[in-house]
Structure 1
Amino acid sequence: MKILNLKVLQENQERSLQSLGIEVVTKTIAQNQIVNYCANHDFDGLLVDANYKITTTLLDQLNSLKFIIVVGKSLAHIPFEYAKKLGIQIYTTEQAYIQTEAELIIAHSLSCLRNLKDCNREMPLEGDIRFNQMHKLFSQGNTLWGQTWGFLGFDAVAERVAQLLQNWGVKFMVAEQGKSSILNKTQRRNKEFTIEFETCSEETLCRKADVISVHKYDIDDYLINASNLNLMKKTAGIINTHHPKAIDEVALVDALNDDTIGFAALDVFENQPKPEIQVLMQPKISLSPNLASHSKQADYLASKMATQQIINIFEDLKK
């Protein structure tokens, strides 16, 4: 087996594949050059990162491949069914990033509710001369205990957030059709547990939730616009780590400026990698540069998962 690795596997995983007799060619190749490069080599598989755009046109040109593995958490639509018709299997490592993204969502919520983002901005500037004033100003934050968390959409990351918060006294609402009112999950330490949540319309969720997190990828228009924001509580906040186009940022900044809502947290942006300056400078927004799906542990796990997928394919081909 011969695979093209566009520098997404960690070196130790690459060596483990080579030890099994799998040829791994590691290169940095521009996307517009990938077809020409593959045409001159007999590759069975291709490993790409989540930023790589897999289109039907590309698949038509690369239909000699047996498989493609996407290492990372992709927001882009991947044409799985079309690839299958061409005899190309597409594998992903999205499961590796569930815990990492769930933790960042919760971290952003705590940063906003407990005023940590404000403390971290102001303490380095005047913490030595306004310590007592800052204590008084920032000590009136809120805990997550007793809050209602609303999920716009419900995916594996949302499920993990609910699992992590189920003993924090948090209530859950989900604006997603077809979800039951009780989510039965497998096991934790050999004990089954359940998570209860209210299913509702997006309008009801906006009105009642204290914290809202976005968990939808396939969207045609803003999930959160001026109308949605006007429905929310003045103390409520919204967190987006999922889709850059999920929130109308102009309406969001206006709502924060007018105290229509309490806070926001953004890990993805409409105009990334150059977010709008009014978004970056709005003090009620907790900011991070696409960190949700990245941590040492997640990246290692994703590389390990991709390696195991290749080994499984290799073993199947030998049968």
Structure 2
Amino acid sequence: MSKVYLSAKLPKIATQKLIDAGFEVTVYDGTKLISHDTLLQNVKDIDFLITPLSTKVDHDIIDAAPKLKLIANFGAGFNNIDTAYAKEKGIVVTNTPKVSTNAVSEVAIGLILALSHRIVEGDKKMRREGFPGWAPLYFLGHEIAGQTLGIVGLGNIGRDIARKANALGMHVQYYKRNPLSDPEERSEKVTYASLNTLISTSDFIVISAPQTDENYHQFNMSAFKAMKSTAAIINVGRGPIIDETALLEALNNDEIAGAALDVYENEPDVNDGLKLLKNVILTPHIGNASVEARDAMANIVADNIILVEQEENANFIVNP
């Protein structure tokens, strides 16, 4: 009987599917994220590992699991896994792309709306002190219709954000290393802009890009100074794309108007200074935290284990 180790609790649909398929399934049930040492101790005789993107799978973990056939990452990203070393050891690594697209794009749009209409700030005010009553100039925000949205990274999520933003009357421009063709741009109702142009002309900037060596701290103090002073930045991509120290300075100096972060440079830690600002929204990496998305992700990781056990090719291999 092949052994599967889950380094975090998953939706029951995954564990039940594996048990029904005859696997011996062990689940880490700690209340905190699994530690490196705990993971190291639990991979020694396993055949399959399911792990969330918050768990680092490095040389030591891989070397400690001589029977390991597959690392099924529960998430679209896979920066947490040494994929090259896994390939060297003959271990397949998979992820769960596409199924979280709608959930993440909904969160991105929600954060734009929450920032522009000061929804979170208003909620805190009502809970803390209430308000004096409706007045014509009280607690004004801005409508997003007619505003320019700049999307950095136009993959599946970026495109879905663009579709939703277009439906809300926004003008959408994007930046990616390989621009779309003219027919694709017309179909998606988006316009390509260089990164510098996007930064300087957008009213809202949404980061939906994966993390690469090239985009580490892509949004630094120079970028924030180039943004409109009335603009806001939203990050549903990867935390290290933003230099949070520079972001805090830019916000304190009124270089930009606001920020909403769902991912963080040193996740799960958050810059304490950002917590103090009323024009900042902080959410706990909930981009794809919907029942629908997580169930779909659970099905993918379970199905991939079953496929590899049957000596068939897994889906969504990231280290071919």
Please point out which of 238, 257, 262 is paired with 1:262: 257
TM-score by length of 2: 0.84
- For residues 160-199 of structure 1, the aligned pairs below 5 Å read 160-182=160-182, 184=184, 194-199=187-192
Q: CA deviation at 1:27?
A: 4.0
Q: How many residues align?
A: 306
Give a deviation string over 1:244-265, Cα, whole Å, max 9, x none: 2222333323332333222111
Matched, 1:306 2:301: yes
Q: Distance in 1 between matches of 2:246 and 2:8?
A: 39
- Counterpart in 1 of 2:315? none
Structure number with the bigger relative contact order (C-alpha 8 A, sep ≥ 6) is 2
Q: CA deviation at 1:108?
A: 0.6
Q: Distance in 2 between matches of 1:30 and 1:83?
A: 20
Please point out which of 215, 218, 234 is paired with 2:212: 218
- Counterpart in 2 of 1:231? 226
Q: Distance in 1 between matches of 2:247 and 2:43?
A: 45
Moved more, 109-118 or 244-253: 244-253
Q: Distance in 1 between matches of 2:147 and 2:181?
A: 18
For the 8 Å contact 1:153–1:176, the answer to whether it is kept is: yes
Matched, 1:200 2:193: yes
The structure with the largest alpha-carbon Rg is: 1
SS at match of 2:219: coil
Which contiguous aligned blocks of 4+ residues in structure 1 show a shift greater than 6 angstroms?
none
Identity within the alignment, %: 25
Letter in 1 for 2:153: G
Q: Which runs of 5+ in 1 are unaligned?
A: 186-192
For the 8 Å contact 1:182–1:196, the answer to whether it is kept is: no
Q: Distance in 1 between matches of 2:154 and 2:94?
A: 22
Instruction: Quote the RMSD (CA, aligned, Å).
Output: 2.6
For the 8 Å contact 1:110–1:144, the answer to whether it is kept is: yes
Q: CA deviation at 1:86?
A: 2.0
SS at match of 2:9: coil
- Counterpart in 2 of 1:106? 109
- Counterpart in 2 of 1:248? 243
Letter in 1 for 2:37: N
Matched, 1:45 2:45: no
- Counterpart in 2 of 1:131? 133
Pair 181,66 (structure 1): closer, same or farther in 2 beyond 3 Å: same
Pair 236,303 (structure 1): closer, same or farther in 2 beyond 3 Å: same
- Counterpart in 2 of 1:31? 36
Judging by fraction of residues, say which structure has more strand: 1
SS at match of 2:187: strand
Q: Distance in 2 between matches of 1:20 and 1:34?
A: 24
Pair 31,248 (structure 1): closer, same or farther in 2 beyond 3 Å: closer
Letter in 2 for 1:269: Y
